[in-house]
Amino acid sequence: MTFATLGLIEPLLRSLETLGYQTPTPVQAQAIPAVLAGRDLMAAAQTGTGKTAGFALPLLQLLAMEGPKVAANSVRALILVPTRELAEQVHEAVRQYAENLPLRTYAVYGGVSINPQMMKLRGGVDLLVATPGRLLDLFRQNALKFNQLQTLVLDEADRMLDLGFSEELASIYRALPKKRQTLLFSATFSDDIRLLAGQMLNDPLSIEVSPRNVAANTVKQWIVTVDKKRKPELFVHLMRKGKWKQVLVFAKTRNGVDALVEKLQGLGVNADGIHGDKPQATRQRALDRFKIGEVQILVATDVAARGLDIEDLPLVVNFDLPIVAEDYIHRIGRTGRAGATGEAISLVCADEVNLLSAIEMLTRQTLKRQNEPEFEPEHRVPDTDASGQVIKKPKKPKKPKVSGGGGKRNLGKWVDSGDAAPVEPAVKPVRKVPVFNTGPRKRKP
Ligand code: AMP
């Protein structure tokens, strides 16, 4: 199969040739003809599967072949994305695909001045990539009209809900014409997303190119167990031992990101961090420098977990496990993209055992443990498996400890009593059946 047999026009085929895309990926093979035929789409595709081209190519073709010239302050196709980085990335891909077409494309997002965006929109834009908040600001300030809108794309739809954008999305839908084509893309599909899809999509074609909620099988994954306080030391040890050149590291909190970056910089390592407290320009600069190899270690909160395409990224390290198990898939999806191989290492301490268990259940695999001799934890991480059970070790019952801090007490209760009840999580409870059971979560990483 070729892109030509999918019905793409010559200017797009030329762009693809320049980019070196030879064969459509499975999601492209299914999405392109469907979108060209005007169908609504509900697509579950892993990160790195080529989904951006799956919706952008046919969309650009429809814009070039059909419909009126774009009017002032109008937009004909809208791609909504959850983060600013993703907006830049998707727009960059769109720009490359549209190289040989007379179409105007643009990206708007928050964290930067709104005035240049308003100026740019005056002339009208055929295809606009936007984050929901800034799009609404522009609409409310009359910088944007939607009466010419023919297609809406929701990219990373589940992430948008995770980030608490459901109200913004509802306001945006109300402002859009009822008659339109809608394409919904999401790496994972929760009940909330299915509900949203039911409200928004008209007789959608469902595409599922990979088993639901399964991480890319090109990523070699394992964990190293360690005591919480020794994680920074272990990280540095592994970094030196493995001679890591380009690593994306995920930490749970903004403070955690800053602390690790500071430690690494103190050791003379070229490290930088991105999280939601940093201005957009700083975040983008750190990411750009990481992509071209000027920054060796980029530490991030989950704001960086989705959608970012970093060419040939060899390694992702989870310095902390994510609180929401699905985020594990998105984090490790930064490596092993477009068929490349990659590695994902997670540093796991005892009070993360429930998070580990939720990840193993979601990904239907037991993560291999590879311990570092010098870093064997004092607080053992109980065994887990893909059934979601934290496995007790019945053999050596010990006397309960009488004293100890919160974390220690939890662990003590667990190991010492031989009780099969799960350890009380140190953080928010993990959803037990994350595949199908999601409530609305409001969380800004
Ligand atoms: P995405 O999942 O859209 O983020 O795409 C992941 C990566 O795959 C990007 O770097 C794309 O440029 C690349 N890519 C997408 N489609 C193809 C294709 N058909 N052939 C080769 N590379 C592709």
- Per-residue model confidence as pLDDT tens digits over 339-393: 567 899 999 999 999 999 999 888 878 999 998 999 999 999 999 887 766 766 5
Q: How many CB atoms lie within 10 A of CB 371?
A: 13
Minimum-distance ligand 1 atom for the alpha carbon of 307: 4
- Per-residue model confidence as pLDDT tens digits over 71-90: 999 999 999 999 998 999 99
Token couple for 1: 């199969």
Beta-carbon contacts of residue 194 (< 8 Å; ≥ 6 apart): none
* Mutational pocket test of ligand 1: of 22, 25, 129, the residue with most ligand atoms within 8 Å of the beta carbon: 25
Is the C-beta atom of 51 inside 6 A of ligand 1?
Answer: yes
- Per-residue model confidence as pLDDT tens digits over 185-208: 987 778 888 888 888 899 999 987
Of all protein residues, whose CA lies closest to atom 20 belonging to ligand 1? 21
Is the C-beta atom of 24 inside 6 A of ligand 1?
Answer: yes
DSSP state for residue 313 in the 8-state scheme: -
Token couple for 115: 């005035």
Confidence of residue 303 (pLDDT cuts 50, 70, 90): confident
Q: What are phi and psi for residue 135, nearest 5 degrees?
A: -60, -45
Is the C-beta atom of 25 inside 6 A of ligand 1?
Answer: yes
Q: How many CB atoms lie within 10 A of CB 353?
A: 26
Domains of the chain: 4-208 (3.40.50.300), 219-390 (3.40.50.300)
Beta-carbon contacts of residue 51 (< 8 Å; ≥ 6 apart): 27, 31, 43, 45, 155, 185
For 334-403, the DSSP string reads: TSSGGG--EEEEEEE-GGGHHHHHHHHHHHTSPPEE---GGG--SS---EE-TTSPEEP--S---PPPS-
User: Is residue 31 pLDDT above 80, yes or no?
Assistant: yes
If you measure from the C-alpha of residue 309 to the centroid of ligand 1, how many angstroms do you get, rounded to a whole number?
A: 9
Give kind and range of the element (H or E) at residue 154. Answer: strand 151-154
